[in-house]
Amino acid sequence: MALTCCPCFHRVLRLGVPVLLLGTLLLLEPWHSNTSAQEASTDDRLGTGQHTYEWVSGWGKLPGEMKMGNTHGAIVSDAAGHIYVNTDSEHAVLVYSAEGELVRSFGKEFRGGLHGMTIVREGDEEFLYVAHTGRHEVAKLTLEGETLWTLGYPRESEIYASPDEYRPTSIAVTPDGDLYVADGYGKSWVHHYDAERNYLSSFGGPGTEPGKMRTPHGIWFDDRGERPVIGVADRENGRLQFFDLRGQLLSVVSGVFRRPCSIQELGGHLVVADLAGRVTILNDKNELVCQLGDQPDPKLRGQNGVPVEQWVDGQFISPHNAHWDARGDLYVLDWVSAGRVSKLRRVR
């Protein structure tokens, strides 16, 4: 999950709609159907209609000599409105207020590979589920960073010769506590566990045909339709794929993405971070609403080493994750070595 997040569970796509594949409609199965401290200029407005945003310049600065480091992970928010950001530094999780003030940081033990996060409410508490590419595991944490458990590679799947082949990038959690883990930087499988972390099954695997994957980078749980589904940002195949909870392919959405990295839902709409320089928003029928911050220079798209002096407000570089908070304001994490997180305030 992905994907990611508040609302607590990963969500992807409503059943009951036709799917766009390479500019045509494909139906694989019948469907049922805050205010920031900084000011933003109207010249920095992006999007259209209810998805009109103002780019908030300078959001999320750090105190003193503290450096953000490479931003190669996710963004989520809790019920209190705090924004959680991954970095590859010893501050693996930075926690901000919605106004961009640093509240706290934690995760020194997770530096260099904390990649995917989602926040899940369980009873009266919220917990942070994370994926770590370098430690070859997923984990459950408190919101203060205490590790409650870790789960290593799926030996039972008989897919891996060693833990080193397993590099999970995203995790989704169902209301019943089942886990879906996307091995985005490993062997391109999705693994399913029950609430007690017992291995159940795997689906996907490397390939380009429908149902196969090349870098299943982000994952999301969606219960908006008559039946819940699992959505996968199949990055290097340039598409989103949707599966039932047993891993059977339902549909594919393509033709509007370059290298989709993550999925999140709010109010029936989806936001997809695209590593190749833009953020895409789809409506509840999976129709394109708008694309935000498209990087005009193809040479800068999907690049990690772009220096700060080449950053331009209103233009993304390498969007790795995008997240709406409960107010509908949008936060985007660019995969850049100097660390970049941008806030887009929704115009109301």
What is the rounded CA–CA span in Å between residue 91 and residue 111?
Answer: 7
Residue 3 has pLDDT above 50, yes or no: no
Across the chain, mean pLDDT equals 89
The tokens describing 107, both together, are 């995760």
Please write the tens of the pLDDT for every residue from 21-52: 333 333 333 322 233 333 334 466 999 999 99
* pLDDT at position 10: 37
The tokens describing 277, both together, are 């320089």
Please write the tens of the pLDDT for every residue from 183-205: 999 999 999 999 999 999 999 99
**Architecture field, domain 19-346:** 6 Propeller (2.120)
* pLDDT at position 18: 37
| Cα–Cα–Cα angle for 195, 324, 180, rounded to 5 degrees | 20
Q: Which pLDDT band, with edges at 50, 70 and 90, does 169 fall under?
A: very high
Please write the tens of the pLDDT for every residue from 125-160: 999 999 999 999 999 999 999 999 999 999 999 999
What is the rounded CA–CA span in Å between residue 89 and residue 105?
Answer: 11
* pLDDT at position 231: 94
Please write the tens of the pLDDT for every residue from 108-126: 999 999 999 999 999 999 9
Rg of the chain's alpha carbons, rounded to an integer?
18
Query: What is the pTM (predicted TM-score) of this model?
Result: 0.87
* pLDDT at position 43: 60
Please write the tens of the pLDDT for every residue from 242-276: 999 999 999 999 999 999 999 999 999 999 999 99
The tokens describing 148, both together, are 């409650």
| Nearest 10 degrees: Cα torsion 76, 78, 82, 85 | -20
